[in-house]
Each structure stands twice: as structure tokens, then as C-alpha cells.
Amino acid sequence: MINQSQTLQNKTLRALLPGDALTGGGTEGGKKAALAEIDASCRVPVLFFFLSGLAWLLAGTILALVASIKLHTPGFLAGWEWLTFANVRTAHLNTVIYGFASQISVGVTIWLMCRLCRIPLVAPGLITVANLFYNLGVTVGVGGILIGDSTAIEWLEMPRYATPILFISYALIAVWTIVTFRLRAERHLYVSQWYLLAAVLWFPWLYGTAQVMLLIEPVRGVVQAAVNWWFAHNVLGLWFTPIGLASIYYFIPKVIGRPIHSYYLSVLGFWSLALFYNWNGMHHLVGGPLPAWMITVSIVASVMMLIPVITVAINHHFTMVGHFGKLKYSPTLRFMVFGAVSYTLASLQGVASAVRSISEVTHFTHHTIAHAHLGMYAFFTMVMFGAMYYILPRITHREWPSNGLISLHFWGVALGIVLYVVPMSIMGFIQGTMLNDAAVRFLDVVQFTLPWLKLRTLAGLLLAAGHLAFVINVGWLLVRMFEPYRKPVVRILTGEAETVAAAKLP
């Protein structure tokens, strides 16, 4: 039955693709490698990025919990200067953004690039060196923050003796990606590759420019704020978002076995994102001491973001229509769909908060913090978890050891992040309304936030439990790598086992 339908699908595929696209070895490009061969070639570098990323995730989770507790119980660990709220909060941001999220992004980028270019991993040395530089950079940077060398420039707090190390790493990653792209065996490009290529080229540029203009040769006055938010907002918009969307565009079709709803829309979505997102940054400065034209331009660009957001939403959600039953079976799909829905919500919330009348209330409040976590966690991190659930068994060629831990992970983080974002968004809005009423004493506003901040600590504990479950499962998976390969009972690696055996891999 399955074989028949596969043959049928292959016929359709052959009818649609040019003659050589499927068989490989055409006139254009080299021979296309088998998926299992590509996966196996990615094993060591991708594991490096994933494992070091997860180590930083644990560190970042602990820092987050400490910071959260400190905000409602200021006496907690107050004796140590290197553990002040500001230090811990900043160290949390930098470990999860640069240590965790970026490293997982790179791991996913490597694997996706190899798979879509249909070649085994090239230059493993280059990418491994990039990883070493990366972890060195983050360690030095976070250490610098904790000893009080933070630059106090949001998202660029790492002192200037750490950032060049990271820059080298990003440059190496960009070079590696371009080399892989040039050597690709599949000449045709899938939308995920556009997003990945754009991200790896945009980010070193952003990071390099921001470093020079803020740390090495700082510009004068409020131009610093302009550079700061041009950079910080683009880290989200031009680094994390493209990689997150590239993953969704690949994994949802792959898991449910159905092409993306509309390829036209994905083209429109990519170019409108590229055009508008990078003009958004100044909406972090509404009401601030910058020329009105800059802020207005950013508000307009923020509203224009409705175009890419709606096209992407239509594409992702319409692809899923009729396949929601599969959420029950596939952890990748669960995390991906959770992330895709959150992307839509986070973007709409972002557009709304950029509007002057709403920003008047929500700016300077916990609403912004909730929004940041909706984007970075509920969207991006969930998508990365989903990607890891798909990639890790394939590169290690082992099944996930425990379904129970997968469920614990999903429900822990899903409930945790909902319990974080929803109350904090509401609280921030009320907080902003109170702040804008000069008749309300400032300390009364502070007192109002306390119960909500305690609720956030609770949400953080749920997230931490989920992270722990995931890390245990990954650790267990790694232990299994040292055991002889057994044919799994539940076969998620269906169709690959034979090919891998042929490639003489364990």
C-alpha cells in the first residue's frame, strides 16, 4: 500500500522536476548524496554545536531563575557583587542568546544546508574551529559581564575583549556556508536555503558594524542608541527569525510528507521580510530623544511587517490543515507548530507595540519582556527544539531513548512559556497604565507587580523542568551511541537503516 503510493508520488515528482533533478549526476552540479550519508557526515560538528548549546541553555536557565527570584525578593543572594540582578539578568540574556540559541541555530544551519545542497559536510575542520572560537568567546564574554565589565549596551553587553572572538567565529561560519552553497549538488534552491544564506551573511555584518561603532570607536551621543537598536532588533529579525523560518519551511513539509502550501507566498514572504525587518529597530525608542523621522520610519516599517508575517502564517498554517492528527505522533511537529503559531502571535504583538498610542503604555514595562520571550522562546527556541528532535536521531543513528521524557519536555516548556507570556503581557499593560497616571505612587506600581513576578518564577521552574528532561534524553541518546546498534522497535529511521548500513556506518 505504502509502496504503491510512494511510486505514485515519485511519478508526480518526476513529472514536475527536470529530468536530472531526482536521479542526480546530471550535467549541472555533482552527484547527489543520500540523506543518510549526509546525516552521518554532519555528526561530529553538529553534535559539537548542539551539546555546547545545551550546556549554555542549562547555565542560562539557572541564571534566569536567580534573576527572576531576585526581582521579587531583592535580598536573595544580595551579598555577592558579581551576582547582582543586573549582572545575572545580563549574563542570562547573553548565555541564552549567544551561547544557546545561536549555537543551536548554527548546528541546524549546517545540517539543513548539507541536506538541501545534497552534499556531505565539507571542511569539517573549519566548522569545528568556528565552534571552539565560539565557546571561547561566550565564556570570556559572560565571565566579563559577571565581573562588572558589561558594556551596558543591550544585546551587546559582552566586553570588547570578547566580541572579536565571536566575530571570527561568525565569519568562519559564513565562509563555510558559502563554500557549501557553491559546491552544492542540487542546483535548485529551496526557500529555506535563502533564509539560511541571508542569515549567515547578515549577522557578521551587523555584529561587526555594531562592534566598531559602539565598542571599538564609539559614535557620539544618541547615535549610539540608534546603532544599538538597529543591531539588537536585527539580531532577532535577521539572524534568529530567518533560521527559525527556514527550519519551519523544511521540517513541517518533511514531517507530514506534504509540500509547502504555496511557494509563491514563500518568495513574497522572504523579500518583504528582507525589505522591512531591518528598518524596525527604532520602535524601541518611541518617545525617546531621537529625531522624529527615524522613529516614524521604524513604526511604518514595523506595520509593513504585517505582509511577511501574514504570508508566512498563511503558508505554515495552511500546509498543516488536515494534518493536525500527526501532532500526536511527532515531537518535531509539535514543537514546530507551537513555534509557528507563536511566530504569528509574537509578530502581531510586535506590530501592535510599535504603534505610538500602544507603545505609550507598554514601553518600559514587563510587556516588552513578555514579548521578547514570546519571540525568542515560544517561537524560536521551540522551533530549535523541534529541529533537534528530528536531527539528533538521524546524525547519531539512534532512536530517542524515552518517549516519557519527550512528553515531559514538551508539556513543561509549553505550559511554562504560556504561564510566562500571558500573565506578563497583561501585567505589563496594567503596569504601563499605572505608570502613565501620575496620581499613582511609583512604589505602588512596584508593589502591584510583585505577585505577577512570583508567578513568573513558577513559570521558570516549569521551563527548567522541561530543559532538564530534554538534556537527560539527549545524554541518554549519546550513551546509546556507544552501544552496538540494534534495530529499533519504533522505527523513526524508516527507510534509512539500509542505506546507512551500505555506507558502512554503525
Partner 1 sequence: MSYGPLLFLGILFTLASSWVGLVLLPHRQMGALGQHTDTNTAAIYPAARSGEAQQGAEHYRSLGCVYCHTQQVRPEGYGSDIERGWGRRRTVSRDYIHDKTVMLGTMRTGPDLTNIGERQSDAAWHYRHLYNPQITSPGSIMPPHAFLFDTRAIGPAGRSTNALVLEGPLAPPAGHEVVPTRRAEQLVAYLRSLKSSGDLPEAPVKKEEAQ
Partner 2 sequence: MSVIAFILLGSVVLLPAAGLLALRWATSTGQFRCPDKAALLPFDEVEPVGMETDCILGGNRR
By CB under 8 A, what part of segment 332-351 binds partner 2?
A: 332-333
Which residue reads 549541472 in cell numbers? 28
Q: Output the smallest distance, CB 242 to partner 1, in A.
A: 10
State which residue, 88 or 114, has the beta carbon closest to partner 2: 114
* CB-CB contact of 105 with 384 (8 Å): yes
* CB-CB contact of 36 with 503 (8 Å): yes
Contact residues for 329 (Cβ-Cβ < 8 A; gap 6+): none
Please report, as residue ranges, which positions from 178 to 207 form the binding site for partner 1 (by CB under 8 A).
187-189, 194, 197-198, 201-202, 205-206
Please write down the long-range contacts of 486-489, taking CB distance under 8 Å and 24 or more positions apart.
Answer: 488/399
Q: Output the smallest distance, CB 424 to partner 2, in A.
A: 30
Binding flag, residue 259, partner 2 (CB under 8 A): yes
HEC string for 335-352: HHHHHHHHHHHHHHHHHH
Listed ranges 324-332, 370-378, 413-421, 448-456: which one lies at the site for partner 2 (CB under 8 A): 324-332
Please report, as residue ranges, which positions from 34 to 53 form the binding site for partner 2 (by CB under 8 A).
34-36
* CB-CB contact of 247 with 384 (8 Å): yes
What is d(CA 269, CA 328) in angstroms, rounded to the nearest whole number? 29
Binding flag, residue 15, partner 1 (CB under 8 A): no
Binding flag, residue 213, partner 1 (CB under 8 A): yes
Task: Please give the torsion angle defined by the CA atoms of residues 89, 90, 93 and 97, in that order, rounded to the nearest 10 degrees.
Answer: -170
**For residue 276, which of 318, 311, 225 has the smallest C-alpha distance?**
311
Please report, as residue ranges, which positions from 430 to 459 form the binding site for partner 1 (by CB under 8 A).
435-438, 442-443, 446-447, 450
Q: Given CA atoms 346, 351, 354, 359 in this order, what sign does their dihedral have?
A: negative
Burial class (CB in 10 A: 0-12, 13-18, 19+), 495: exposed
State which residue, 89 or 261, has the beta carbon closest to partner 2: 261
Listed ranges 85-93, 107-115, 319-327, 375-383: which one lies at the site for partner 1 (CB under 8 A): 85-93
Listed ranges 56-64, 166-174, 227-235, 320-328: which one lies at the site for partner 1 (CB under 8 A): 227-235
* CB-CB contact of 144 with 138 (8 Å): no
Listed ranges 51-59, 101-109, 363-371, 404-412: which one lies at the site for partner 1 (CB under 8 A): 363-371
Number of residues that bind partner 1 (CB under 8 A): 80
- Report the interface residues with partner 2, using CB under 8 A: 2, 5-6, 8-10, 12-13, 16-17, 22, 32, 34-36, 116, 186, 188-192, 250, 253-260, 262-264, 266-267, 326, 328-333, 389-390, 399-400, 403, 406-407, 489-492, 494-496, 499
